Amino acid sequence: MLSIDNLHVRVAGKEILKGLSLTVGAGEVHAVMGPNGAGKSTLGYVLAGRDGYEVSAGTVHFEGRDLLAMEPEQRAAAGVFLAFQYPVEIPGVNNTYFLRAALNAQRRARGEDELDSVQFLRRVREKLKVLELPDALLQRGVNEGFSGGEKKRNEIFQMALLEPKLAILDETDSGLDIDALRQVAAGVNAQRAPGRSFIVITHYQRLLDYIRPDAVHVLAGGRIAASGGPELAHRLEAEGYAGLPTEAA
């Protein structure tokens, strides 16, 4: 599904990722953990195609295609979804309008029929239920005036609606209380499917009690410094990131 090989990324002239390699198979859930500033969000942005994240070496292939050569919207249509660590407020762009524009743009790009408003709303209702998001939020501007938790749940709601093949969740658990965390995890678990993979970026082991990963990786020193099963997350929780290489030689 996704293979990242020897990825080097510079941000504002500074090398943040220094030879990161990671392979995610179809239907797998990979957790990526690491200290603040390790480059976890950088990895998410680079995969989603944000400007200003300069790839100086390495390759990323998604279902055999050169992901780095694609525009952000092409990546989305191909099935890549990034749940933002800090979802952006866009006043004046109605949330419902935005969701429908996004869904239909992706469908168009894939050569599928666009959904009319009845089909679209039926789909919205269905997905809203799982996340217990109030209907009223749909009538506001995108993320406008949403609480921190509502923003995070809205990201997962968008994921449910867009049905990506690869979802990258960037600290979707940060700032959530335990109930919201359970809802988010339920939203994610409902989406788990043989053809859908996840990269779950998190700072805490807690989320992984609800979303069971197939593999856990530690991002430190600009690369994957350690990999293992769920037990690695527990070890990190107990011992911290000390002892892991912070600067690659």
Ligand X SMILES: Nc1ncnc2c1ncn2[C@@H]1O[C@H](COP(=O)(O)OP(=O)(O)O)[C@@H](O)[C@H]1O
Residue 219 CB neighbours (<10 A): 24
210 binds, among another protein, Mg ion, ligand X, none (CB under 5 to 8 A by kind): none
- Which of 72, 149, 175, 230 lies at the binding interface for another protein (CB under 8 A)? 72
Does the protein bind ligand X through residue 143 (CB under 6 A)? no
Strands 2-11 and 53-62: antiparallel
Residue 200 CB, shortest distance to Mg ion, in Å, is 13
Structure tokens at 121: 């709303």
Does the protein bind ligand X through residue 178 (CB under 6 A)? no
Does the protein bind another protein through residue 50 (CB under 8 A)? yes
Residue 131 CB neighbours (<10 A): 21
User: Where along the sequence are the contacts to Mg ion (CB under 5 A)?
Assistant: 40-41, 85
Cβ closest to another protein, residue 101 vs residue 190:
101
Does the protein bind ligand X through residue 12 (CB under 6 A)? yes
Does the protein bind another protein through residue 51 (CB under 8 A)? yes
Does the protein bind ligand X through residue 37 (CB under 6 A)? yes
Residue 215 Cα distances to 107, 193, 243, angstroms: 31, 16, 20
Does the protein bind another protein through residue 103 (CB under 8 A)? yes
| # residues near ligand X by CB under 6 A | 12
- Which of 17, 128, 160, 162 lies at the binding interface for another protein (CB under 8 A)? 162
- Which of 77, 137, 199, 215 lies at the binding interface for another protein (CB under 8 A)? 77
Please tell me whether residue 178 adopts helix, strand or coil conformation.
helix
DSSP letters for 63-124: TTEEGGGS-HHHHHHHTEEEE-SSPPPEEEEEHHHHHHHHHHHHHHHTTPPPP-HHHHHHHH
Residue 240 CB, shortest distance to ligand X, in Å, is 15
C-alpha atoms less than 13 angstroms from C-alpha of 98 in its C-beta half-sphere = 19
- Which of 9, 20, 38, 162 lies at the binding interface for ligand X (CB under 6 A)? 38
Cβ closest to ligand X, residue 85 vs residue 143:
85
Does the protein bind ligand X through residue 221 (CB under 6 A)? no
236 binds, among Mg ion, another protein, ligand X, none (CB under 5 to 8 A by kind): none
Tell me the residue nearest to Mg ion as measured from the CB: 41
152 near 180, Cβ under 8 Å? Answer: yes
Please tell me whether residue 10 adopts helix, strand or coil conformation.
strand
What is the C-alpha to C-alpha distance for residues 66 and 227, in angstroms, rounded to an integer? Answer: 25
* Helix or strand (DSSP H, E) at 226: strand 223-228
Per CB under 8 A, residues contacting another protein are: 48-51, 71-73, 75-77, 81-82, 84, 87-88, 90-93, 98, 101-103, 105-106, 109, 141-142, 158, 162
